[in-house]
Structure 1
Amino acid sequence: MKPYTQKYMDIASKTGKPIMRPMFFDYYQDENCYTLEDQYMYGEDILFAPIVEQGQEQREVYLPEGNWIHVFDGKTHTGGQIIICPAKLHEFIAFVKEGSEAIKIFDILLEK
C-alpha cells in the first residue's frame, strides 16, 4: 500500500488533488455520487465503503461506471449500480477498478 499511497501523495503535492476523495470528485458526471456520504475513493483506483454502524454485517455500496473487483472474493461487479456487500467483523469493504495495478495490494486477501 505504501507505493500506491506515495504515488498519490506526490500527485496531491503537485496538483492539490486529495488522496481521500468524495465519490463525486472523480465521478462528477454521476449524480448518484453526490448523495454518497460514507464511501470514498482512495486515489483513483480504490473504493472504500466503511461499516459505520455497530453490529452491521452488510451494507449497500454504489459502484460508479466501470468494472470493480471486490478485494476479498475477487468477484467483478459492473458499475452503475448499488450492490449489497457483506462484511465480517474483521473485514473491510473495498473494490479496485478492473485493470488497475492496485489489485496487487490486496493479493494476500485473494489468496485465502
Structure 2
Amino acid sequence: MRPLFYEFQKDDKVWDIKDEYLYGPDLLVAPILYEGTVSREVYLPEGARWTDARTGRFFEGGQTIYVEAQLSTIPVFLRDGKQEYLIGKI
C-alpha cells in the first residue's frame, strides 16, 4: 500500500488525498470510511487511464468522479487497463 503521490508526483492534487491509496503501482483503492455511505468521490490521478474494476468503464485521469460505494463494494480502479487483475480477483 502506498499514497498516490508515490506514483504521481507531478499531479499536485494527489498530495492532499488521504482517503485513497495504491495497492502496488496499478490498483487504486477508494475505501468506504463512513457508515451508511452509498456513493463517494474518487480522484483519478492524471498521467494514466483508469478502469473501474467492477464495471469495466474507462476514465481519463486528472478528474474527480462519483461512484456507487455501498459498504459491500469497495471502489477499485486499474491503471492503464491492467485487465489481468480482473480474472477471478475482484
**Fold shared, TM-score > 0.5 on shorter chain:** yes
How far apart, in 1, do the equivalents of 2:89 and 2:69 lie?
14
* Contact 1:58–1:85 (Cα < 8 Å) also in 2: yes
Q: TM-score normalised to the size of structure 1?
A: 0.73
Q: Which has the larger radius of gyration?
A: 1
How far apart, in 2, do the equivalents of 1:23 and 1:59 lie?
17
Q: Counting helix residues as a fraction of each chain, which structure ranks higher?
A: 1
- The one of the two structures with greater contact order (alpha-carbon pairs below 8 A, sep at least 6) is 2
- Give the unaligned 5+ runs of structure 1: 1-19
One-letter amino acid matched to 1:54: E
Aligned residues: 89
Cα RMSD, aligned residues only? 1.6
Q: TM-score normalised to the size of structure 2?
A: 0.89
Q: Could you tell me the percent identity over the aligned residues?
A: 36
Cα deviation, residue 107, structure 1 = 3.1
Runs (4+) of structure 1 moved beyond 6 Å? none
The alignment status of 1:27 with 2:5, answered yes or no, reads no
- Alignment correspondent of 1:95: 77
Q: 2:43 aligns with which of 62, 71, 89?
A: 62
